[in-house]
Amino acid sequence: MSDNTEVEYDTAKILAALPHRYPMLLVDRVASLAEEEIHAVKAVSFNEDFFQGHFPGRPIMPGVLQIEALAQAAGILAIESLGLAGTGKLVYFMAIEDAKFRNPVTPGHLLDLRAGFVQKRSRVCKFWGKASIGDKVTCEVNFTAMIADS
């Protein structure tokens, strides 16, 4: 992988990289992918299951799901950067730190998901993540994940 480049990373490739499936698959597209950073997108639709209860009459995407979307994007980054595609390895959350929620995410938004390595090792990686809508940051977080057999 070289510099930040446009990539052909469609839904089929996302499904091949991640074990998540509907309704927990929260990455719709990868806009760019580099050795150390990913830019992915989640199209937030009114039909999302969580909007039924969060909140009726004022639908807001839960912050924990924004973090999950960032973690899934980071999982794709780890799988690609560490050459794990097709190995059966999975990326598991270990820790979430310094989570901050800045602005609400509502139906109709395209949520930009940017994540990158803070530390990259063969079994444990640390990441930063930032979700935003346009120039408005919605969520920032640091998290740790481990690479393990499925």
At residue 121, the 3 state secondary structure works out as: coil
CA distance 69 to 127: 13
CB 93 within 8 A of CB 71: yes
CA distance 128 to 52: 30
CB 133 within 8 A of CB 112: yes
39 given a catalytic annotation: no
Place of tokens 């446009």: 6
Active-site pick, 20, 39, 54, 109? 54
CA distance 63 to 140: 10
CB 44 within 8 A of CB 109: yes
Catalytically active residues, by annotation: 54
